[in-house]
Structures are given as structure tokens and as C-alpha cells.
Structure 1
Amino acid sequence: MPGRLGGTGCAAVLPVRTDRLVLRPPTPEDVADVVALAGDWAVARHTGDIPHPLTDAPIRAWIGTTRQTHADGTGVSVLITEAETGAIAGAVTIAWHRHWPEAELGYWVGRPFWGRGYATEAVRAITDLGFATFDLAGVFSSTRGDNTASQRVLDKVGLRPDGGVLEVPAPARGDTWMQARRALTRDDWVRLRAARARMVLVVAAALVDPDGRVLLAQRPEGKTMAGLWEFPGGKVATGETPEAALIRELREELGVDARAACLAPLTFASHAYADFHLLMPLYILRNWAGTPTAREGQALAWVRPARLRDYPMPAADRPLIPVLQDLLGG
């Protein structure tokens, strides 16, 4: 039987924080923002229980229901909010009956926040919470056949079609939908979590010019996380030291020569991605030979420390910014 949220205490598990998000209980002050996002037909049409047009009353009722669910220990319903801005981006729910071995998962994300990976990040976090905290035997969900975006999210988190078909009530649509069931068992979750713990060692450098600017490189099209800006560097090969790997990567990526004596270790990033754990030492480099040139199709930018946050970065790189700003000013 799943563990009881009420027994654990809501404050003990909520809010849930991820790299970019905070998953927190809704409050009456959130009603207007939730209505604006969930009331969009592009969002509501894929759900069976969000009325359209949407008014305040159903959202106020939903908030009351979430409080009761938390108190009863039969599920968790939270808003998806941005960690940096506090903006509401959507909602995610995981719920079970006291005697169910599995929990049902559901979520929605507002249209202004599509394409940012928030759904995957939030669904993975709530799924981890369910298995790790409430001793669930499994998690299941279902989607309409035309909702391919939601199917991709569930695939990324590990929920796969299991051959089942669910008859899903859709009271807001006045209908009943037949939807393919997707599920994730505890054993599969443990296996996936172990795969995410696989360690990958990457090394990076903050090249600093005489004006105190830092060099960023933009990942080119065709690579994972294309378009994001990062500190130059790359993977440490078997048998390499971090310094040797960084010297090699800087030569290959930028055409510059650096000496190990000029590499000053500053800090490191430790970040869990979906299928591996990244450990990334960051070095400061102020002296090198040659002019940094994009040799792998990447764009380059010399950036003032105060403006580093203006450049979208991978989740592992962002925590390095305050350390650099403390060192360089700004």
C-alpha cells in the first residue's frame, strides 16, 4: 500500500525543487493565472476534466480538492512554477486509492511554456517522489492518440505502452475516451534511476580576456541541447587527466594552446541529467596562445560577467555563474 502523505506531513515533501522548477501546492491567489493558462483550448482539449471556457469556480474547487487529497494521503497535486521567476507554467498530479498498488499520473503545461522541457522535468520529479517517498508499486497514465507531445514526455520519463486500454471519463467534454495505457513499474524505475547515476566526467574552462569578459560557445545544430551556451570543454577520455583533456579540447574546439600551469581550478558542477550524472570541473584560464576561433560550427561570444545569465545555458552550467561573478565582479 502506498505511504500516506498525511503521515509524512505535507511540509516534509513539498515543495519539490528541480533544476529549473518548483512544484508547490496551489493557493487561492493562483486562480487567475491557472484559469488563463488551463483555459486555453490548446491545453484544455487534451484533458477530459478542464471545462472550456474555463471560469474561476472549477479551479477554486480543484484547489480545495488538492488540499483534501494531501491531508488524506492519497496523492500529490502541485503547480509547476519557474524557479527563477515564480511564474506558473502548469500543473502535475499523482494520485492513488488507499488500496491501489499503482498511482495515476496527469499533467498539463500552458502554451507560453511549451518547448522548454518543463513537462518532462516536472513529470520525472513527481514520479521520483511517488516511488521514493510513497512506496508505489507502479505509475500509469494514458493519452489521446493525437497527443504526441504528451506521449514523448511519458516516453522520456519511462512510461511505456503496456497493451492496456483505459476507458477514461471526460466529463468536461461530455464523452468517454478510450486511451492506450502507459506504465512504469518500481523495478523499471529503479533500473532507470541507476542508469541516471552513471557518472560522466566533463571538463570546462572559463577563458577570461584582458577586459574581464568570459568566452561562451553556443552548441551547434545537430548536437544535443543545440542553441544553448556553455563554457568550452568536453569529455575526459579514459586515461586522461582533466587538465590534459581540457588542453586537447581547447585546441580542437578553439584552436588555442594552453599550458597546464595556466589552468586554475575554480569550482565544479554536479548535475543529474535524464540518463547520466555529470561531474564537471571548471578552470579559469587567462593566458593562452592563439586567437579563439570557432572550429566546430559553434558561435562564440565574449560576455561580461554581469550578463552571463542573459545566455540560455545547460542546467549544469548555470550554477557556475555566481562563482564566476564573485571572482570577476558583476
Structure 2
Amino acid sequence: MTEPIVVVGAALLDDCRLLAARRSAPPELAGRWELPGGKVEPGETPQAALVRELREELGVETEPLERVPGEWPLRDPYVLHVWTARLLPGSPAPKPLQDHDGLRWLTPADLWTVEWLTQDAPAVQEIERRLKRAQERGAS
């Protein structure tokens, strides 16, 4: 049995909004939405991979915050780990540079207006719970 290869996904948060990225490739995923990220390279920490992937895919500088509990299977031998992250002060706005052709900042009310990749949906549900709690705290 081979050791799973970790793919990190970013729940990039800004003012109670989550960034969704629309895939442009490969053809079987094109047009669906995901949490941006990519593979952890040998010798790289998941947090370092997340920062690198977001710089390459979106042109932004970020800070990983915490891992979202859970692990979601992708095609063998890959598994998805999701981390919350925020843009660093002074970072440019995200742009779709690699593997994406669109970005949207989604509020909790908008989260399910896009067609998420199946493997990202459970993590998005967890992020939705967190965003709603944060909104409730802000309203009280």
C-alpha cells in the first residue's frame, strides 16, 4: 500500500467570505469550483505548500491559519487536507493565473450558488459552519 500524497486546499477567508476558484483544466473538472491549492512536494510542510500554491495559482501572499478537521480522498493515492488562510497585508488581490478561469468571494449565503468539486464539498460545509458562527459573534 502506497503512502497517501497530500494535496492542500485553501479556505482563503476575508471578512466572512470564502474564495472559490473555477477550474479551467483538466477537461473533466473544468467549470466546477474548488478551494485552490495543490500537492505537497517532498520535504515541504503543508503550510509551505499552501503558501507556494496560492502564490503560483493566484499571485497572492497568504498566511495559513489552522487545519480544517478531516481528510478527503481524491484519486488514489491523493488525499485532500484543507487549511484556513488569510491574505497578508499588502498582498495584491487574487487573480486566476494557473488552472483557473474565474474567482468569486462567497458569503455564507452564496456558498452553494457554485458547483463545487465533490471532494471539496465536505470542507466547504465545515467552513460554512465557521463563517456562520463568526457572523453570529459579529452580530451579537
Report the TM-score range of the alignment, normalised by the length of the smaller protein.
Answer: 0.7 to 0.9
Distance, in Å, in 2 between the alignment partners of 1:220 and 1:272 is 18
Tell me, yes or no, if the aligned pair for 2:9 and 2:50 is still in contact at 8 Å: yes
Distance, in Å, in 1 between the alignment partners of 2:95 and 2:71 is 26
Residue 306 of structure 1, CA deviation: 2.9
Q: How many equivalent pairs are there?
A: 130
Across the aligned residues of Structure 1 and Structure 2, the Cα RMSD in angstroms comes to: 2.2
Q: Which one of the candidate residues 87, 91, 97 is aligned to 1:287?
A: 87
Alignment of 1:60-139 (within 5 A): none
Tell me, yes or no, if the aligned pair for 1:270 and 1:277 is still in contact at 8 Å: no
Q: Which has the higher helix share?
A: 1
Tell me, yes or no, if the aligned pair for 2:21 and 2:103 is still in contact at 8 Å: yes
Tell me, yes or no, if the aligned pair for 1:205 and 1:231 is still in contact at 8 Å: yes
Question: Does residue 305 in structure 1 map to residue 105 in structure 2?
Answer: no
Distance, in Å, in 1 between the alignment partners of 2:97 and 2:10 is 16
Instruction: Give the TM-score of the pair, scaled to structure 2.
Output: 0.80
Deviations 1:287-330 (A, max 9, x none): 32221111124211111123322321222101112211111118
Q: Which one of the candidate residues 191, 205, 217 is aligned to 2:10?
A: 205
The residue that corresponds to 1:238 in the other structure is: 42
Tell me, yes or no, if the aligned pair for 2:60 and 2:87 is still in contact at 8 Å: no
Residue 271 of structure 1, CA deviation: 1.7
The residue that corresponds to 2:62 in the other structure is: 258
Tell me, yes or no, if the aligned pair for 2:62 and 2:86 is still in contact at 8 Å: no
Residue 251 of structure 1, CA deviation: 0.4
Once the two structures are overlaid, the 10-residue window that deviates more, 247-256 or 276-285, is 276-285
Distance, in Å, in 1 between the alignment partners of 2:115 and 2:87 is 26
**What residue identity is the alignment partner of 1:323?**
E
Distance, in Å, in 2 between the alignment partners of 1:317 and 1:233 is 11
> Percent identity at matched positions?
35
* CA 222–283 in structure 1, closer or farther in 2 if over 3 Å, else same: closer
Q: Secondary structure at the match of 1:298?
A: strand
Tell me, yes or no, if the aligned pair for 2:74 and 2:80 is still in contact at 8 Å: no
Residue 278 of structure 1, CA deviation: 3.1
Give structure 1 regions of 4+ aligned residues with deviation exceeding 6 angstroms: none
What 5-or-longer segments of structure 1 have no aligned partner? 1-193
Question: Does residue 326 in structure 1 map to residue 129 in structure 2?
Answer: yes
**What residue identity is the alignment partner of 1:321?**
V
The residue that corresponds to 1:315 in the other structure is: 118
What 5-or-longer segments of structure 2 have no aligned partner? 134-140
Distance, in Å, in 1 between the alignment partners of 2:49 and 2:74 is 22
Question: Using CA pairs below 8 Å that are at least 6 residues apart, which structure has the higher relative contact order?
Answer: 2
Instruction: Give the TM-score of the pair, scaled to structure 1.
Output: 0.36
* The structure with more radius of gyration: 1
Q: Which one of the candidate residues 264, 269, 272 is aligned to 2:71?
A: 269
